[in-house]
Amino acid sequence: MSRNVLVAGVGLLVFLIVAGAVYLQIVSNANRSDMVWAVSRSVAPGDAFTTDNVHQTRIPATGDAWDFYTGDLLAAHVRASHDMTPNTIVFKTDVQERDMALVTLSLRTPPPLAHGYTIDVYAQIGNQTTMVGRHLAVDQFQGGTASVWVPAAEEPAWINLQASNVALFAARSSGVGVPQTHGQSIQEALATLSGGSATGPVTTVPTPVPSASPKKP
């Protein structure tokens, strides 16, 4: 009888230890939190993150590997990669971490633009048109001149294009679904837009066959 009591007592003790450990783990997880960055006021593509539009806050730890931006958002001097609304948590993909430069482009027949719009830019040389910039954030726009953010490493190339008086055209774009094409001629563009034929199908008009003259009786 004493042996059975001892075994039962040991079993109860083990159960209490395990249950206590589980309870402590639950309490510990419930009290854990992650420090994250959140948007205070709306930002547009190309906007710098500052104390005016972001702040740090704590959220309950989920245990999942969320890809929050964990660096010092203010010291990094980085910019928003797309539109963000207040109370949005900042993830790594929301941040444009590359060094950026602001260049001014003269655009031919541009669409209506404003701060925060994104555009694709095309250059036309002779009979060839090529996309040279994809999903570029507009900082300012006036008349036919747009100041846009480009990767700093590409700044000399953009300045060279502008100084060479190359005709530049722009289209409003979300950056999704537009193919990165090679240089395209006018004939190729017409072929694409007309469903594969630049000139359209050739229509042959049948030559009328004269009817036989009736025989005299």
- Segments in the chain below pLDDT 70: 1-31, 62-65, 175-177, 179-182, 184-186, 188-193, 195-217
Residue 181 is predicted with a pLDDT of 65
Residue 198 is predicted with a pLDDT of 38
CATH number at residue 91: 3.90.1210.10
Residue 6 belongs to a domain: no
Do 63 and 106 lie in one domain? The reply is no
Residue 73 belongs to a domain: yes
Residue 29 is predicted with a pLDDT of 54
Nearest to 110 by CA among 33, 186, 28, 168: 168
Do 148 and 178 lie in one domain? The reply is yes
Residue 142 is predicted with a pLDDT of 93
Do 57 and 141 lie in one domain? The reply is no
Residue 211 is predicted with a pLDDT of 46
Residue 168 belongs to a domain: yes
Q: Are the beta carbons of 156 and 111 closer than 8 angstroms?
A: no
Do 108 and 158 lie in one domain? The reply is yes
User: Helix H segments across the chain?
Assistant: 2-31, 155-163, 186-193
Task: Give residue 150's Cα distance to chain centre.
Answer: 14
Residue 1 belongs to a domain: no
Angstrom distance (rounded) from CA 46 to CA 83: 9
Do 45 and 20 lie in one domain? The reply is yes
**What six digits make up the tokens of 37?**
């960055």
Residue 59 is predicted with a pLDDT of 86
Secondary-structure breakdown of the chain: helix, strand, coil percentages, each rounded to the nearest 5: 25, 30, 45
Residue 190 is predicted with a pLDDT of 60
Range of the domain at 147: 100-193
Which tens digits make up the pLDDT trace of 65-114? Answer: 688 998 899 998 899 999 999 999 999 999 998 889 999 999 999 999 99
Residue 6 is predicted with a pLDDT of 60
Residue 110 is predicted with a pLDDT of 93
Angstrom distance (rounded) from CA 217 to CA 206: 33
Nearest to 138 by CA among 167, 164, 100: 100
Nearest to 130 by CA among 175, 102, 156, 169: 169
Do 43 and 111 lie in one domain? The reply is no
Do 125 and 176 lie in one domain? The reply is yes
